[in-house]
Chains A and B, each alone.
Chain A
Amino acid sequence: MEDSAENAVGMPQLDFSTFPNQIFWLLVAMVALYMILSRVALPQIAAVLADRRGTITADIAAAEEAKQKAVEAEDAYHKALAEARAEAGRIVDQARAEMQAELDKQMAKAEAEIAAQSAESEARIREIRASTMDMVSEIARDTASEVLGVFAVKADAKTVSAAVDAQLKREDAA
Chain B
Amino acid sequence: MAENGIDIRPMDQFVVKPLFGGDVVNWYTPTNVTLWMALAVLAATALMVYGSRGRAVIPSRAQSVAEMTYSFIYKMVQDVAGRDAVRFFPYIMTVFLFVMMANLLGLIPFAFTTTSHIAVTAVLALTVFISVTALGFILHGTKFLKLFWVDSAPLPLRPVLALIELISYFVRPVSHSIRLAGAMMAGHAVAKVFAGFAAALGAAFFLPILAVTALYALELLVAVIQAYVFTILTCVYLKDALHPAH
Residues of A within 8 A of B (CB): 1-2, 4, 6-7, 10-15, 17-30, 32-34, 36-38, 40-42, 44-49, 51-52, 55
Smallest Cβ-Cβ distance to A59: which chain B residue: B57
- B168 within 8 A of partner (CB): no
Tell me which residues across on chain B come within 8 A of A7, comparing CB atoms.
9, 11-12, 15
CB distance from B213 to the nearest CB of A (A): 26
Contacts of A26 in B (CB 8 A): 33, 37, 114, 119-120, 123-124
A37 in contact with B67 (CB, 8 Å): no
Given A12-B117, A23-B27, A25-B33, 7 other A-B residues pairs in contact with their CB atoms under 8 A = A7-B12, A18-B25, A21-B25, A33-B40, A34-B91, A42-B70, A48-B52
Residues A29 and B37 in contact in the complex (CB < 8 Å), given A21-B25, A42-B90, A45-B52: yes
Contacts of B37 in A (CB 8 A): 25-26, 28-29
Closest-by-CB residue of A relative to B14 is: A12
Known: A27-B123, A37-B93. A14 touches B118 (CB 8 A): yes
Residue of B nearest to A34 (CB): B94
Instruction: Kindly count the residue-residue contacts between A and B in the assembled complex, taking CB atoms under 8 Å apart.
Output: 141
Bound CA span A50–B94, Å: 21
What separation, in Å, do the CA atoms of A13 and B119 have in the docked complex?
Answer: 7
Pairwise interchain contact A45-B41, C-beta atoms closer than 8 A: no
CB contacts (< 8 Å) of B123 on chain A: these are: 22-23, 26-27
Given contacts A29-B37, A41-B45, contact A21 B9 (CB under 8 A): no
With contacts A4-B23, A21-B33 taken as known, whether A12 is within 8 angstroms of B15 at the C-beta atoms is yes
Asked if residues B55 and A44 are in contact (CB atoms below 8 Å), the reply is yes
Interface string of B9-45 (1 = CB under 8 A from A): 1011011110000010111110101100110110011
Q: Quote the shortest CB–CB distance from B35 to chain A (angstroms).
A: 9
Task: Contact check, B57 vs A55: say whether CB atoms are below 8 A apart.
Answer: yes
- What band does the interface of chain B fall in when counting residues whose beta carbon is under 8 Å from A? 35 or more
Interface majority SS (helix, strand, loop, mixed), chain B? helix
Q: Tell me what chain A mostly uses at the interface: helix, strand, loop, or mixed.
A: helix
A37 touches B48 (CB 8 A): yes
Judge whether B12 and A1 touch: CB under 8 Å.
Answer: yes
Q: Which residues of B contact A38 (CB under 8 A)?
A: 90, 94
Q: How far is the CB of B101 from chain A (nearest CB, A)?
A: 9
Q: A44 vs B63: C-alpha distance in the bound complex, in angstroms?
A: 11
Are B41 and A29 in contact, CB atoms less than 8 angstroms apart? yes
Cα A34 to Cα B91 with chains together (Å): 6
Subset of 14 A-B contacts with CB under 8 Å: A7-B11, A11-B11, A12-B11, A18-B25, A21-B33, A26-B37, A33-B41, A33-B97, A36-B44, A36-B49, A37-B44, A37-B93, A41-B52, A48-B52
In the complex, chain B residues whose CB is within 8 Å of the CB of A32: 41
- Whether A22 touches B16, Cβ cut-off 8 Å, given contacts A36-B45, A37-B97, A45-B48, is yes
Would B93 and A42 count as touching, CB distance under 8 A?
yes
Which has the most chain A C-beta neighbours within 10 Å: B40, B57, B91, B116?
A: B57
Q: Shortest Cβ distance from A117 into chain B, in angstroms?
A: 93
In the assembled complex, the Cα of A12 lies from the Cα of B188 at a distance in Å of: 13
A45 touches B67 (CB 8 A): yes
List chain A residues, Cβ under 8 A from B124: 26, 30
Contact B63 A13 (CB under 8 A): no
B66 contacts the other chain (CB 8 A): yes
10 closest residue pairs by CB, A with B: A41-B48, A20-B27, A38-B90, A29-B37, A18-B16, A12-B14, A22-B119, A19-B119, A12-B15, A34-B94
Q: Does B198 contact A (CB under 8 A)?
A: no
Given the interface pairs A13-B185, A21-B25, A47-B55, the reply to whether A29 lies near B98 with Cβ below 8 Å is yes
B31 touches A13 (CB 8 A): no
